[in-house]
């Protein structure tokens, strides 16, 4: 059976484990491959990055040898920016583009002047904890756990710098479809989400889901349905090409 690989990039402060539940909820033809970033999870001993393009190129170089077409990229929040940069990095390394890019829960690369205001400088522990409270994705019990926070906050600080220091580049547009998901109660505006359409010469779609910033967990089944429905056509097309 021909498989389509879905590379998934985590949001700020998270490891590849945030996507582990998806594996048993996707069809067999869709191979989930969560991407672990340096400095967390299985790569905890590696230095954290604060340069988005350098990180994207490193990950693309690491994955290039084993990456088989067709593949798609999914990223939520910081992961969406990273997924977009990886699409360009793969292209620069001579790899085919993804069949689709899914950008979830964040403003487009060219619409971030207000979105990332104040994120270009390192935040204190107190500021980071308050930011986590605002996003409603972390319980007070976890926020009060000093040992857990001592492991999480350095990762979160570096990830906020990744986003805050990101600058859009003038370069050839992607050719693949870009599918955007947004939360109706998230801080990314409809205009900021539609801005992702400027990243490609291909098609564009926007799905707004109920919920705040972590709608990908609150409404996981709906998110997975959008991904599956959008990728099914590419899977069928590739399967027909292989058997022709």
**CB under 8 Å, gap of 24 or more: what pairs does 146-153 form?**
149/125, 152/13, 153/125, 153/128, 153/129
**Residue 6: φ, ψ to 5°:** -110, 105
| CA 227 – CA 110 distance, rounded (Å) | 24
| CA 6 – CA 86 distance, rounded (Å) | 13
Q: How far is CA 220 from CA 22, 211, 214, in A?
A: 9, 11, 10
What residues pair up with 33 in beta bridges, in sequence order?
7
77 flagged as catalytic: yes
* Start-to-end CA span in the chain (Å): 14
| CA 23 – CA 33 distance, rounded (Å) | 9
What residues pair up with 86 in beta bridges, in sequence order?
none
Q: Which of 12, 15, 20, 77 is catalytic?
A: 77
Quick one: which H or E segment has residue 181?
Answer: strand 178-183
Residue 236: Cβ within 10 Å count: 12
Return the active site residues.
77
């Amino acid at each position: 059976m021909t498989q389509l690989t879905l590379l998934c990039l985590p949001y700020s402060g998270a490891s590849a484990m945030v996507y582990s539940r998806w594996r048993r909820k996707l069809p067999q033809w869709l191979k989930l491959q969560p991407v672990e970033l340096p400095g967390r999870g299985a790569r905890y001993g590696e230095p954290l990055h604060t340069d988005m393009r350098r990180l994207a190129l490193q990950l693309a170089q690491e994955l290039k040898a084993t990456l088989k077409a067709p593949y798609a990229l999914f990223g939520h929040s910081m992961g969406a920016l990273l997924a977009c940069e990886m699409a360009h990095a793969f292209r620069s390394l001579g790899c085919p583009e993804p069949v689709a890019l899914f950008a979830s829960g964040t403003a487009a690369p060219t619409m971030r002047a207000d979105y990332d205001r104040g994120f270009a400088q390192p935040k204190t522990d107190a500021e980071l904890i308050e930011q986590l409270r605002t996003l409603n994705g972390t319980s007070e019990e976890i926020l009060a756990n000093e040992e857990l926070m001592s492991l999480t906050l350095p990762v979160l600080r570096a990830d906020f710098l990744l986003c805050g220091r990101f600058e859009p580049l003038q370069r050839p547009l992607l050719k693949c479809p870009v599918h955007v998901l947004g939360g109706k109660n998230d801080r990314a505006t409809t205009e900021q989400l539609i801005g992702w359409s400027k990243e490609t010469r291909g098609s564009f779609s926007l799905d707004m889901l109920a919920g705040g910033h972590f709608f990908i967990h609150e409404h996981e089944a709906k998110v997975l349905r959008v991904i599956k429905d959008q990728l099914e056509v590419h899977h069928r097309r590739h399967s027909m090409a292989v058997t022709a």
